[in-house]
Amino acid sequence: MFVDFFFELRKEGVPVALNEWMTLMEGLEKDLAGSSLTGFYYLARAVLVKREAHYDRFDVAFARCFKDVETTPEMVEEALAVFKNLELTYREPPGYTRREKAELPEDYLKELAKHKITFLQRSRSEEETEARPSRPFGMGAKQPGAIRMGGDSMGLSALKVAGERQFKDYRDDLITGVRQFEMALRKLRQLSSRLEGPREELDLEETIDATANNAGMLSLVWDRPRKNTIKLILLLDSVGSMDRHIQTVSKLFTAAHRTTHFKEIKYYYFHNCIYEHIYKTHVLNDANRLPTDEFFRLHNSEYRLIVVGDASMSEPELTRPGGAVAMNEFNKEPGLIWLKRLARHFPYSVWLNPVPKVHWGKEPGHTTVPLIEKVFPMFELNPAGLEQAVNRIRLKNLN
Amino acid sequence: MATEFTQFKGTKDYIAATELKNSVNIAINLGRPLLIKGEPGTGKTMLAKSIAEDLGLNLIIWSVKSTTKAKEGLYMYDTVQRLYDSQFGDRDVSNISNYIKLGRLGEAFTSEQTSVLLIDEIDKADLEFPNDLLWELDIMNFYIPETKETVSARNRPIVIITSNAEKELPDAFLRRCIFHYIDFPDAVMMEEIIKVHHPHLEKTIMEKAIQAFYNLRNISGLQKKPSTSELLDWVQALVIGGAKPHQIVHDVPFMGVLIKKNEDIDKVKRQLDIQAGRKPASTGSSFGF
């Protein structure tokens, strides 16, 4: 049954390894589960699951594996009925090791009779009060021959906890955290030559040379640490159909803001597609307009460009002059020309799309995605996609 | 018979959920590091203090920063000092061990008594940091090549590691840890936590504060949800400021203690106005289609 659980977990996508499984066995041997299903649930979860995102998968697998193991109230009733009519004949109590059996009191029957009376009294008094002192029955019972009643030592039964699936919201296919974006952005770096900044790193080679030249008198040589020289531009599609992606985009935005290791990072905005103007803030009005040519003049091709947008619009917006959807914009050239111009100006550039890849080019409303994919290398806006994008942006685009 | 094992029960100023105590005991008895994750303000760091206090052990804290290297936790060899000393002949430079200083992990290994070692916010350090500590945490010893010494743990320390992050710890490292995610406390638990810090708080204020707090946390789309420690500060503010119970839920006085970001404050105010049936104050809207 336990081995089934191992495979059930793996099937559900909890990456359990053999050494973790051995740790679980070690825990069971040390009786850390307290011989109860609930104890086992928490022990197994602590040992086998290493990400809160996997708690839910664990719950699902656990419930499937052990659903028939639970002691239902009816079973307790049944057991109680049997127990009340129990004939006091000696029967070897199941589930004990030989050593434990040897320790069973001689007058086991007498003990059992005593327990029976206490049990009946206790079961009556427990109906009246919630408080349960240490008892010869149930989970707390440690002495051999005591009767274990199935465990609810932790208030909630394991299957109830598993069934509640309270960690559903933590599944990683639902969560994309700022932190993960930060992790991906961190990989975007290009180290500087040692030309500027304070000298604060001990240069060992030079120190040895200098000391030797100085007839063995110590002479320390310090050097400048290297720094990241990446300059980054984020160009964000900010209104209209992007509103539904605002959570994801703002996570990327926050991550980029927190990342301090870039030499420079700049933000610009556009609506659906890029034409003669882009915008300096997310409020896309005339006051914030910046001619796209001016934008090109301000930023040379050294800047890395990340465009964030759903690339979803009506086709004329891309292919026809005057296709721009904004009322304060009339484009003499089609949007696609502008996009190509943008891609040529910034040879190190990628497009991040918050729309899941399965919809690209297929679902109505996303038919323009493949057109733009031909211009920019496009990745899904999620931690994995950003990581791929960061790897891709190191390479020059060829168009 | 069940073996007797070390039992952590929580301390009077730290309320630990049964699940958490359970995980702590599993980690202690299996001799594995316990990795604690959870939202900021759920008391991850406090846990180590509480364990040390409850079991009567000394606590060694290693606060990890973005520049921390794994080796610093083991030992530091002060080459430059030794070179200087060799020049001026101040100290005996032939004895390298004079220039070896043990780090926090080294301290925990050599301590006479079992200690609780807290490696706080391990995710702040470089990506490779956890992997660099694998061997030392597993085998509980390390080698100092400069002095040809091996430092082994006299008493295996209880290692508690905290992390705020979501995905970056390497698999090999995770496999060796016992993991526990501190879920955000529910209202009943929260009441106990507040009682510990503010034992004489009026019942009405307590109820209203908790109600207001969970109300705020349930507003979707906040960039930073208020946490337990912020709630405790806020309760303090309510007591000092003498807030009226009936204001607490709808007006949320001293909101700045709970909500720190401007966008969040605007959002919360709008929501509170809607809940109270007031006309929401207009905020600037952006231009778009």
* pLDDT per residue as tens digits for the range A57-72: 898 888 888 877 666 6
Q: For A46, which of B26, B165, B167 is closest by C-beta distance?
A: B26
Q: What pLDDT shows up at residue B6?
A: 65
Count other C-beta atoms under 10 Å from residue B173's C-beta.
20
User: Which of these, B200, B22, B14, B245, lies nearest to A47 by C-alpha position?
Assistant: B22
Tell me how far apart the alpha carbons of residues B18 and B168 are, in angstroms, rounded to a whole number. 28
Tell me the pLDDT of chain B (289 aa) as tens digits: 333 456 777 777 777 788 888 899 999 999 899 999 887 777 888 899 999 998 989 999 999 887 788 888 999 888 878 878 877 777 777 888 888 889 999 999 998 888 999 999 888 887 678 888 888 888 888 898 888 888 888 888 999 999 876 546 778 888 889 999 888 888 888 888 888 888 888 888 888 889 889 988 888 777 778 888 888 889 888 888 887 888 888 888 888 888 888 878 888 888 888 887 776 554 444 443 4
Residue B49 and residue B8 in contact, taking contact as beta carbons nearer than 8 Å: no
Average pLDDT over residues A178-203: 70
Average pLDDT over residues A327-350: 87
Question: Do A154 and B19 make contact, defined as CB atoms within 8 angstroms?
Answer: yes
DSSP symbol at A322:
T
Select from A18, A19, A20, A42 the residue whose CB has the most chain B CBs within 10 Å, as the one to mutate to test that interface: A42
Nearest chain B residue to A217, by CA: B87
Helix (H, G, I), strand (E, B) or coil at A65: helix
Q: What pLDDT shows up at residue A166?
A: 65
Residue A314 and residue A369 in contact, taking contact as beta carbons nearer than 8 Å: no
Please check the confidence at residue A255 and state whether its pLDDT lies above 60: yes
In angstroms, what separates the C-alpha of A104 from chain B's closest C-alpha? 11
Q: Is B286 on the interface with A (CB under 8 A)?
A: yes
* Angle (nearest 5°) at CA A144 between A141 and A149: 40
Tell me the sheet residues that pair with A267.
Answer: A234
Residue identified by tokens 């890395």 is A304
Give the dihedral sign, CA A318/A323/A328/A331: positive
Q: What pLDDT shows up at residue B27?
A: 92
Residue B166 and residue A175 in contact, taking contact as beta carbons nearer than 8 Å: yes
Average pLDDT over residues A208-237: 84
- Residues of A within 8 A of B5 (CB-CB) are 30, 32
Interface of B with A in 82-101 (CB under 8 A): 83-84, 86-87
The first and second tokens of residue A122, run together, are 């206790």
Tell me how far apart the alpha carbons of residues B93 and B83 are, in angstroms, rounded to a whole number. 8
Q: What pLDDT shows up at residue A305?
A: 93
Residue B124 and residue B69 in contact, taking contact as beta carbons nearer than 8 Å: no
CA B54 from chain center: how many Å?
A: 18
Q: At what angle do helices A18-29 and B18-30 cross, to 10 degrees?
A: 100
Tell me how far apart the alpha carbons of residues B169 and B37 are, in angstroms, rounded to a whole number. 11
Q: What pLDDT shows up at residue A144?
A: 37
Q: For B1, which of A100, A172, A238 is closest by C-beta distance?
A: A100
Cite the DSSP H helix spans in chain B. Answer: 18-30, 44-55, 70-74, 79-88, 104-110, 129-139, 171-175, 187-197, 203-218, 228-241, 245-251, 255-258, 262-275
Residue A76 and residue A127 in contact, taking contact as beta carbons nearer than 8 Å: no
Average pLDDT over residues A295-301: 89
Which residues touch B172 (CB under 8 Å, ≥6 apart)?
A: B131, B134
- pLDDT confidence tier of residue A37, bands split at 50, 70 and 90: confident
Tell me how far apart the alpha carbons of residues B54 and B5 are, in angstroms, rounded to a whole number. 14
Tell me how far apart the alpha carbons of residues B90 and B271 are, in angstroms, rounded to a whole number. 69
Q: For B288, which of A27, A166, A239 is closest by C-beta distance?
A: A239
Q: Is A152 exposed, middle or buried (0-12, 13-18, 19+ CB in 10 A)?
A: middle
pTM beyond 0.80: the answer is no
Q: Is A160 exposed, middle or buried (0-12, 13-18, 19+ CB in 10 A)?
A: middle
The first and second tokens of residue A170, run together, are 């933590």
Helix (H, G, I), strand (E, B) or coil at B118: strand
Question: According to the per-residue pLDDT averaged within each range, which of A149-158, A325-334, B23-32 is highest?
Answer: B23-32
Q: What pLDDT shows up at residue A167?
A: 65
The sheet carrying B115-120 orders its strands as B58-63, B115-120, B158-163, B34-38, B178-182
b/e per residue A327-353 (b: at least 16 CB within 10 A): eebebeebbbbbbebbbebbebbbbbb
Tell me how far apart the alpha carbons of residues B279 and B270 are, in angstroms, rounded to a whole number. 9
How many residues comprise chain B? Answer: 289
Please check the confidence at residue A392 and state whether its pLDDT lies above 90: no
Q: For B30, which of A23, A39, A254 is closest by C-beta distance?
A: A23
Say which amino acid occupies A155: G
Tell me how far apart the alpha carbons of residues A82 and A91 are, in angstroms, rounded to a whole number. 14
Q: What pLDDT shows up at residue A12?
A: 85
- pLDDT confidence tier of residue A126, bands split at 50, 70 and 90: very low
Residue B214 and residue B187 in contact, taking contact as beta carbons nearer than 8 Å: yes
Q: What pLDDT shows up at residue A161?
A: 65
Average pLDDT over residues A14-33: 89
CA B48 from chain center: how many Å?
A: 8
Residue identified by tokens 């063995």 is A216
Helix (H, G, I), strand (E, B) or coil at B68: coil
Q: What kind and span of H or E run contains A79?
A: helix A73-84
The first and second tokens of residue A69, run together, are 């193991």
Q: What pLDDT shows up at residue B9?
A: 77
Please check the confidence at residue A160 and state whether its pLDDT lies above 60: yes
Tell me how far apart the alpha carbons of residues B239 and B236 are, in angstroms, rounded to a whole number. 5
